[in-house]
Amino acid sequence: METIPAKTIVTKVKKPAAWFGADYNMNIYRGCSHHCIYCDSRSDCYRDINFNTVKVKENALQIIRDDLRRKVKSGVVATGAMSDPYNPLEQELHLTRNSLELINAFNFGVAIDTKSSLVTRDIDILNDIKSHSPVAVKITITTSDDDLCKIIEPNVTLSSKRFEALKSLSDAGIFCGVLMMPILPFINDTEENITEIVCQAKRAGARFIYPAFGMTLRQGSREYYYKKLDEHFPGIKEKYMTRYRNNYQCTSPKAKKLWGLFVDLCVRHEILYEMRSITRAYKGTYDSLKLGSFR
């Protein structure tokens, strides 16, 4: 197991409203073993030469405890932005679970991003946190097809298993939903895929789906992605090179049509899809209670 030094782990978010209303950000691990072909965190700008190896931050729990203790104001701690908090090492180390126990002890909330069904292991602690602070679990699902999942997300829990994890979280009363991103141009940007994800999310009890009909590419991630396109989707790389050149933002040519379909499906199934509405749904009750306590 490789370790890396860290001075602080729970850091203040510059724009809390921007990403699910998180006030703080926390990454216990660095790097990722998912091998998703589209991952932006592989980009050179992050300077993680050995990105495919998961590293553990030294003395993580002590640092998190000290960080939380020093915060003047409580809030929602987001985790999973740069490295999945439920990577394979977590099964043995329990660092994410122990950090949730600290978040609970210091009366903070939590917002989790993950592609792993292992998050269901911690339903008991999430329910404890929910008793006093906001909790949201966001499970990334980009395709409803397990066979396609194995190609674009080789080491990730299968999509079908992630839908099952959503069902377990929902049944336990946890506010949860889907990050439907990235939707890759010319690969999974189909009406069938979008429809199936929304319908399966509904059956699993998802409260929200937040989409991105496209992807990002920059130096480091672009080269890796193009290599994988040549391996698994011959001829698609040339479409990217012609349409997007060296653009960072690669929006699906079907984005407008897919967005319309997606919104219609979400409205029909009563699923939230706008950031403001999602944030208000899981944080609003607690904000009201806090205001009431000062009256």
Helix (H) or strand (E) holding 149: helix 146-152
State the pLDDT at residue 295: 31
pLDDT range class, residue 71, cuts 50, 70, 90: very high
Question: What integer best gives the mean pLDDT of the chain?
Answer: 94
pLDDT range class, residue 293, cuts 50, 70, 90: very low
Give me the DSSP letters along 206-275: -SEEEE-SEEE--TTHHHHHHHHHHHHSTTHHHHHHHHHTT-SEEE-TTHHHHHHHHHHHHHHHT-B-SH
State the pLDDT at residue 292: 40
Q: Phi and psi (nearest 5°) for 24?
A: -135, 160
DSSP state of 182: -
Helix (H) or strand (E) holding 48: none
pLDDT range class, residue 285, cuts 50, 70, 90: confident
State the pLDDT at residue 290: 55
d(CA 41, CA 68): 26
Q: Average pLDDT for residues 244-269, to the nearest whole number? A: 97
Q: Please determine, for residue 52, whether its predicted confidence score (pLDDT) is greater than 70.
A: yes
pLDDT digits (tens, 9 = 90+) for 192-215: 999 999 999 999 999 999 999 999
Residue of 205, 207, 218, 211 whose CA lies nearest to 262 = 211
Residue of 93, 118, 99 whose CA lies nearest to 24 = 99
d(CA 131, CA 81): 25
Residues 63, 238 contacting (CB under 8 angstroms):
no
Cis link prior to 253 (omega < 30° from 0)?
no
Which of the residue ranges 32-46, 144-158, 228-242 would you say has the lowest mean pLDDT? Answer: 32-46
d(CA 271, CA 199): 10
Helix (H) or strand (E) holding 42: none
Residues 15, 24 contacting (CB under 8 angstroms):
no
Which one-letter amino acid corresponds to residue 29? Y
Residues 127, 174 contacting (CB under 8 angstroms):
yes
Q: Average pLDDT for residues 80-94, to the nearest whole number? A: 94
Residue of 88, 158, 157, 86 whose CA lies nearest to 122 = 86
State the pLDDT at residue 287: 62
Which of the residue ranges 14-28, 137-151, 259-273 would you say has the lowest mean pLDDT? Answer: 14-28
d(CA 164, CA 272): 20
Residue entry with tokens 């592609």: 115
For Cα atoms 53, 58, 64, give the angle at the middle one, nearest 5 degrees: 115
Look up the pTM and report it. 0.93
* Residue 242 burial class via C-beta count within 10 angstroms: exposed 0-12, middle 13-18, buried 19 and up: exposed
d(CA 28, CA 19): 19
State the pLDDT at residue 42: 86
Which of the residue ranges 2-6, 29-33, 288-292 would you say has the lowest mean pLDDT? Answer: 288-292
d(CA 75, CA 26): 12
Q: Please determine, for residue 23, whether its predicted confidence score (pLDDT) is greater than 90.
A: yes
Class assignment of domain 2-271?
alpha beta
Q: Residues of the chain with pLDDT > 90: what percent?
A: 87
Q: Please determine, for residue 73, whether its predicted confidence score (pLDDT) is greater than 50.
A: yes
Q: Alpha-carbon dihedral of residues 27, 28, 30, 35, nearest 10 degrees?
A: -90
Q: What is the CA radius of gyration of the chain?
A: 19
- The domain spans of the chain are 2-271
d(CA 283, CA 255): 30
pLDDT range class, residue 289, cuts 50, 70, 90: low
